[in-house]
Amino acid sequence: MEHNNLSINLLLFFILGVFNLSNVLARPATFLQDFRITWSDNHIKQLDGGRAIQLILDQSSGCGFASRKQYLFGHVSMKIKLIPGDSAGTVAAFYMNSDTDTVRDELDFEFLGNRSGHPYTVQTNVYAHGKGDREQRVNLWFDPAADFHTYSILWNHHHVVFFVDNVPIRVYKNNEARGIPYPKSQPMGIYSTLWEADDWATRGGLEKIDWNKAPFFAYYKDFDIEGCDVPGQRTCISNPNNNWWEGPAYRQLSAKQARLYRWVRTNHMIYDYCTDKSRYPVPPRECLAGY
């Protein structure tokens, strides 16, 4: 009898443990569990039971959405399929922002539309303590409108890394010890927008949007946020070494990641503010500090 009771107790313990673990590991099943529409709700459509969304841009409006919470450090990613064909003058953005008026922190992916047959350009930017103007541009080495691809931001105490399909395309190191600002004190929300920006987006504004091709569609799915939500997880913030994104493996690029990073910069980077002498006759300090 005691043996049977022990077996039953062990079985219950196992079942409850698995149940609790599944709750910890579970990701939001639908878009609206983690996000809210911030702009033009009739231009965002939920697909696949809310597990994916369609963003719409036409002459009447673009659209946007934001996370329900803010986060202080972590890892965020989305799978995105961009506008196919002639998308000149359009911009789709995926970014983190502190939503503060003056001393803003922000980490940007901006996907700049193109004329058919030309590569899509992704622009990244970093704002730290209110200072931005740190643009870099990379031509993607695949057609981002043909299928979904994963775009991720890793943000920890050591660096910010922008990834495309797990390939690092941008690194911004924490060089606070050298007096260089680094975003570390303000929580940030996750945002995305689709809008018309033909005054600058494609070839510096030379290529204008063709509204005859409208409406334009972009698709998002597999929303993944892992971070310390604020206000909320006090122990998460106060014990950063317990968070996987702060672990030793994530404090610098691995040897393989470093090789891929050099490959991107050598073969696909088309603009780097650090080398733009017309804007910066003297390179900004973070450029001299290395990245």
Instruction: pLDDT tens for the chain, 291 residues: list them.
Output: 544 544 444 444 333 343 333 333 445 457 888 999 999 999 999 999 999 999 999 999 999 999 999 999 999 999 999 999 999 999 999 999 999 877 999 999 999 999 877 889 999 999 999 999 999 999 999 999 999 999 999 999 999 999 999 999 999 999 999 999 999 999 999 999 999 988 877 778 778 899 999 999 999 999 999 999 988 767 787 777 789 999 999 999 999 999 999 999 999 999 999 999 999 999 999 998 876
**Who contacts 242 (Cβ-Cβ below 8 Å, separation ≥6)?**
235, 236
Q: List, by residue number, the catalytic residues.
A: 106, 110
List the Cα angle 104/144/173 in 5-degree steps.
Answer: 35
Kindly state the greatest CA–CA separation across the chain: 84
* Cβ atoms of residues 217 and 55 within 8 Å: yes
* Cβ atoms of residues 161 and 74 within 8 Å: no
Query: HSE (CB half, 13 Å, CA atoms) of 193?
Result: 15
